[in-house]
Structure 1
């Protein structure tokens, strides 16, 4: 799945920062000297590098990383780990991911989100002889849970888990900080809210590298929009994700897998790590 495009173009990053900070175009012109007409062109995806660099700092963005995204000059290294598989499913004009995780020894498996079509993950579980026991939801936006029924019908004993701060009918509720076992693997939960009221990151230990399944909290070279709270989204990403080890694999809800270290170097929303 290394060929999955990055979720956001530079204009998406710019738009999220503008909406999140609430800075009007006219105020941004006053702060930077970049005319509103030029700002409007940037928002439409027309690259003017000098102008893009000038508007970055007042929006809390790293100028070099933002230009790098605009030039499409970077993408994360491919990830291949025994016990982790990414599936990319179509949702209208975009795509959404789900992740199959298993203990290579015991073959106990769990699915993280369903995407719009969980059949690929289920077929892989069957082909590999895995025992798909659990479904973990990162948040309850439709594109991440729409095929829940298919997963639950695959195994009548399967248990679905969701953060109590963002409940789903029929799912077992937990609180951030609770942990789970999957064979010899340990799954801990961290609250990464802001995009949704109870967005959860699942940190998995016991594979070749630590893995963080983050939903829409963080993307390769971007992040989910702060639909509930932009500041909470930034803050919880900093405290709950960027404190993980640099080699931790980041499994986002959209776009390719990445790592904590790569996002420290390339994500424009977090200039303090550059």
Structure 2
């Protein structure tokens, strides 16, 4: 019994949407369905999964653009992000215009998330951590058992999230990475919102933005 996942890049931004499931029950969640929902539905059918919920890390269009139509298609609730990202979800029509995407209507999730919440996926669990900085309401999802984290746009292989958007803050983001992500363990594999997977240990050793200070000899 374990947590499985498959990454499906969606939208022109090649955002990593993750389909996450319990291999015992085949119950699943879809994290950050940014668009191209036909690809996601096809993949779910191919894997034989029963999607129970859609999970959002934050309110940016490339992560949430397909949420409302996919939730309607699958008749499932939308969970997350933290309520501090409500302004991003309410601003989706403007985001669509700005990035040249099809019009995306504003929405609120069925449930906001907060630090310490727990998401059940079949017999598996994801822990919720509030990780502001890229956006004020950003959350990540962590499986202690599988040693995997879905971190949205907080951290990338060799990089970190942008902080030049409204209510973004560089030092807050750095603190989220060092105080929330690093304690989860260097052996944790993480899936970013864009680009390849990595481990926290690799980033602690090599990421120029958040690498640990080198010892002085």
Q: What residue is the counterpart of 1:265 in the other structure?
A: 205
Contact 1:203 1:211 in 2 (8 A): yes
Relative contact order higher in (CA < 8 Å, ≥ 6 apart): 1
Other structure's SS at 1:165 match: helix
Report the TM-score, using the length of structure 1 for normalisation: 0.65
Rounded to whole Å, the distance in 2 between the matches of 1:136 and 1:161 is 5
Rounded to whole Å, the distance in 2 between the matches of 1:137 and 1:229 is 20
Contact 1:116 1:143 in 2 (8 A): yes
RMSD: 1.7
Q: What residue is the counterpart of 2:60 in the other structure?
A: 141
Out of 124, 138, 153, the residue aligned to residue 199 of structure 1 is: 138
Report the TM-score, using the length of structure 2 for normalisation: 0.81
Aligned residues: 189
Q: What residue is the counterpart of 2:112 in the other structure?
A: 173
Out of 128, 145, 148, the residue aligned to residue 211 of structure 1 is: 148
Q: What residue is the counterpart of 2:71 in the other structure?
A: 152
Contact 2:154 2:161 in 1 (8 A): yes
Other structure's SS at 2:72 match: helix
Rounded to whole Å, the distance in 2 between the matches of 1:239 and 1:184 is 28
1:87 aligned onto 2:5: no
The Cα offsets for residues 147-184 of structure 1, whole Å up to 9 and x where unpaired, read as 1133212321x111111222343311122221121111
Rounded to whole Å, the distance in 2 between the matches of 1:190 and 1:129 is 29
Q: How far does residue 271 in structure 1 lie from its aligned partner after superposition?
A: 3.1
Other structure's SS at 2:184 match: coil
The Cα offsets for residues 95-145 of structure 1, whole Å up to 9 and x where unpaired, read as 211100000000000000012323322212112211001111000011111
Q: How far does residue 273 in structure 1 lie from its aligned partner after superposition?
A: 5.3
Larger strand proportion of the pair: 2
Rounded to whole Å, the distance in 1 between the matches of 2:73 and 2:11 is 21
Q: What residue is the counterpart of 2:171 in the other structure?
A: 231
Out of 254, 259, 262, the residue aligned to residue 194 of structure 2 is: 254
1:33-48 alignment to 2 at 5 Å?
Answer: none
1:244 aligned onto 2:184: yes
| Stretches of structure 2 lacking an aligned partner (at least 5 in a row) | 90-106
1:190 aligned onto 2:129: yes
Contact 1:212 1:251 in 2 (8 A): yes
Rounded to whole Å, the distance in 2 between the matches of 1:161 and 1:82 is 19
The Cα offsets for residues 243-267 of structure 1, whole Å up to 9 and x where unpaired, read as 1122211110111111111111221
Rounded to whole Å, the distance in 1 between the matches of 2:213 and 2:131 is 19
| Stretches of structure 1 lacking an aligned partner (at least 5 in a row) | 1-80
Other structure's SS at 1:269 match: coil
